[in-house]
Amino acid sequence: MELPELVRAIRENLPGASDELVKRFGQGVRFALRRESHRPFILEDLFQETFCIALEQIKQGKLKECNSLGSFLYGIARLTAWDTNRAEKKRQDRYVPLTSDVLVHQDPYHQLQRRESAQIVRKVIHQLTNPRDREVIFRVYLAEEDRAQICQDMALTPQQFNLILHRARERYRELYLQEVNLAPT
Amino acid sequence: MTFDHTYFQKNDSVNRFLAGDLDEEETQRFQDHFMQCEHCLDQLELDQSFASAIKAQASEGQIAEPVQRRNQPFLMWAAALLLLGNLGLATIILRQRSEPQAIKLYTLIQSRGNEENLISVVDDDTWIVVRQPWPESGETFEVSIAREHKSPVWRKTLPRSGDFMEIAIPGTLLEQATYSLTLRDPASNWETAYRFTVAHQN
């Protein structure tokens, strides 16, 4: 189903239209919420809220360009996340906050296992035997420097630069999947 | 110019988006694309996860240090803790295992008289854990931590889910002091508390 057809189906309340929207954009909305929200353990609530708002706005004709449905949904997800971030901050500002690192979650062991991903990255960094590769990782992810500047400073072509990042990410993915497969259920 | 998958791959749009290097038009076009593209989303999620993990390591000041994998003793211990928890609140027993390079979990016990939970925080891998069966009724609960005779330093709302409410607090986040962690149902005034003292050993 093309996007204009999907939008028309939503506006006309046709059966299955909202399910189709969620099916096509669900992963994207989850990515947007994980990226923008400081409260990952209410992700499912934010997910539901995002689609409720999106469906309402589509029916009200607020989506001007059907082919921009992706960015439209990303924008709603971001605003939904920001609203809850702000509300939570206001509430916590009433007390002396410890830190956002304090975990209150239904599954603290899941949260602790997320810390394992940070330990995995240590292995990845350790396995970068070339000091130049480590420097690229540090400058990209920690110093958040401009990539073109890094290439210029280090006399790297964009292809060499991308290859370094690609190798590190792929190694991270391999190790992460190994950890997930080894963890008891 | 066609803004399709090939274009975005060729222009390294994934990395540039995460770095905030795309202009407004490129950002919108890339969002329009990746929100429906499983391949791009997988790349975005992986790189986002990798970047977060590196920053987490850097904030602990350990990014240059290779470390032995430490989680297996912890995972075995976590499984044992879950089994203990199934015996009910009255029999949740404070256990401390201190193994070299293992995550240390202190499970709080109910305050009785002068008994206290003494938490010795040695390093970043010391965690204070509360595992409490839900009361029979109530849907939303408040968790708060307060120093003795003082206002709460932290408070959170916890919706009911699963068989237990579980809370984990990194020991390094609390100063040396005696605290009370209180769980309360505002609707029924059900309340229970754990008293504990934090001491830093470094």
The reported pTM is 0.53
Got the DSSP string for A119-170? HHHHHHHHH--SHHHHHHHIIIIIS---HHHHHHHHT--HHHHHHHHHHHHH
pLDDT in tens, A129-177: 777 887 888 788 777 777 888 888 889 888 888 888 877 777 777 776 6
B175-193 confidence digits (pLDDT tens)? 778 888 888 888 887 888 8
Give the nearest chain B residue to A69 (CA atoms): B32
Nearest to B153 among A96, A146, A147 (CB): A96
ipTM exceeding the 0.85 mark:
no
For A74-117, write each residue's pLDDT tens digit. Answer: 999 999 988 877 776 666 555 544 544 444 444 454 455 556 66
- Residue B94: pLDDT above 80? no
Q: Model confidence over B17-50: pLDDT tens digits?
A: 887 888 999 999 999 999 999 989 988 887 887 7
pLDDT at B93 over 60: no
At B17, phi and psi to the nearest 5? -65, -45
* β B152-159/B140-147 pair status: antiparallel
Closest CB to B54: pick one of A116, A141, A176.
A141
Higher pLDDT, A51 or A113: A51
Higher pLDDT, B172 or A65: A65
Query: So what's the pLDDT on residue B74?
Result: 36
How much is the pLDDT for A1? 85
A-contacting residues in B 65-124 (Cβ below 8 Å): 65-67, 69-71, 74-75, 78-79, 103
Q: How confident is the model at residue A180 (pLDDT cuts 50, 70, 90)?
A: low
Among B44, B115, B103, CA closest to B77? B103
